[in-house]
A = this chain, B = another copy of it.
Amino acid sequence: MVKDILDNLKISCSHCNLGDMCIPRGLSQQGINALSGVVKQKSILHQDDFIYRQGDNFKGIFAIQSGMAKLITDDLTGNEHILSILLPGELLGFDGLNDTHSCSAIALNTVHFCELPKDRIDDLCHQVPNLTRELFRHSSDILKESQVRVINTKLSGEQKMAAFLLDLSKRLKQRGFSESEFKLPLTRNEIGNHLGLAIETVSRLLKQLQQKKVVAIQQKEVQILDFPELKRIAVDD
């Protein structure tokens, strides 16, 4: 009985539809099986629930199975900064590898996720060939994303917005969603926070892109009408 429940909490990485995007990328079938034995399925979270909190001791590496989350950090003066948006199949928790999490991870809508718990990582790395390397790879991927964010802060408002929409679109496509129609997971306020723009500027930029017939927007529903032009704006203007 108890065993049944525990078994239900185990997850089979082999059957998970995230596949290559997640940790199993680059592991043997044996490796994936070992991983499955250790990864814990977590229960559902709802909007504004925390996956982990800034200041928490390192809890482990998490994978979003469905839904979206944001990574935020509060600075010294108490201001909140949205560092990234996480889509299904994306990993989080690397900000805690040196003991304490520097970010909070918060559900943007209903989220299913699983966990590779901290305590088991060392063992598992010794057991599963390539797992260490795979984790380093992911960690480096995440560092590069952060570096791209630094570079993007030098763009104009319009470029930032175009780049933001294109990035979301690309990542959604990689995950099997439509690249041309999707719902923004953030409020205007959150978009402004994420891009370093005032909320009024966000509103004006979206209107401007709409007037250029590059996108169509209704509340949070986005349709990208002209990819080439949107890309041109993101790099040229």
Alpha-carbon distance A117/B94, docked complex (angstroms): 23
Q: Is the CB of A144 within 8 A of B98?
A: yes
Instruction: State which size class the interface on A falls in.
Output: 35 or more
Q: Name 19 interchain pairs, CB-CB below 8 A, sorted by A.
A: A73-B151, A76-B235, A77-B235, A94-B140, A94-B143, A96-B140, A97-B136, A97-B137, A103-B147, A125-B132, A126-B126, A135-B136, A136-B136, A136-B139, A143-B143, A146-B150, A150-B150, A153-B153, A154-B196
Q: For A126, what are the chain B residues with a Cβ–Cβ distance below 8 Å?
A: 126
Specify which chain B residues have a CB less than 8 angstroms from the CB of A136 in the assembled complex.
97-98, 135-136, 139
A119-149: CB near B (< 8 Å → 1, else 0) gives 0001001100000110111111111101101
Most buried by B among A99, A125, A151: A151
Contact of A73 among B94, B147, B149 (CB under 8 A): B147
Q: Is the CB of A83 within 8 A of B139?
A: no
- The oligomer's copy count stands at 2
| Complexed CA–CA distance, A147 and B125 (Å) | 27
A81 at the interface (CB under 8 A from B): yes
Cβ of A75 < 8 Å from any Cβ of B?
A: yes
Q: Nearest CB to that of A136 among chain B residues? A: B97
Shortest A60–chain B CB gap in Å is 12
In the complex, what distance in Å separates the CA atom of A183 from the CA atom of B76?
28
For A144, give its contact among B102, B135, B140, B196 (CB under 8 Å). Answer: B102
Tell me how far the C-beta of A117 lies from the nearest C-beta in chain B, rounded to whole angstroms.
15
